[in-house]
Amino acid sequence: MAVALYIVTIFVTLFCAVLLLRAWIRVRRSLLLWSGLCFVGLTLDSVLVLADMILFPSIDLYHWRLASVALSVSLLLFGMIWERI
């Protein structure tokens, strides 16, 4: 059951990233770009969670997961500051 939840999380974050980046291509608003890049990073984090918990339980990927989330949120924060929201 946990595997299904991890896979659904991967697809949902990837779907959000694709929708945001498609909207950025159409409208060219920079906040859409930063949000899309944030969701790309969150998708990477979801993949790393699946790999850490299910595929490679003997390898600790905790620090890589934290780094991907920190980078993703930093991108979104930078985009918000850049847009002066």
Tens digit of each residue's pLDDT (9 = 90 or more) over 4-44:
999 999 999 999 999 999 999 999 999 999 999 999 999 99
Q: What is the pLDDT of residue 85?
A: 64
Nearest to 33 by CA among 66, 69, 68, 82: 82
What is the C-alpha separation between 36 and 54, in angstroms, rounded? 27
Domain boundaries, the chain: 2-83
| Cβ count within 10 A of residue 9 | 17
pLDDT at 70: 98
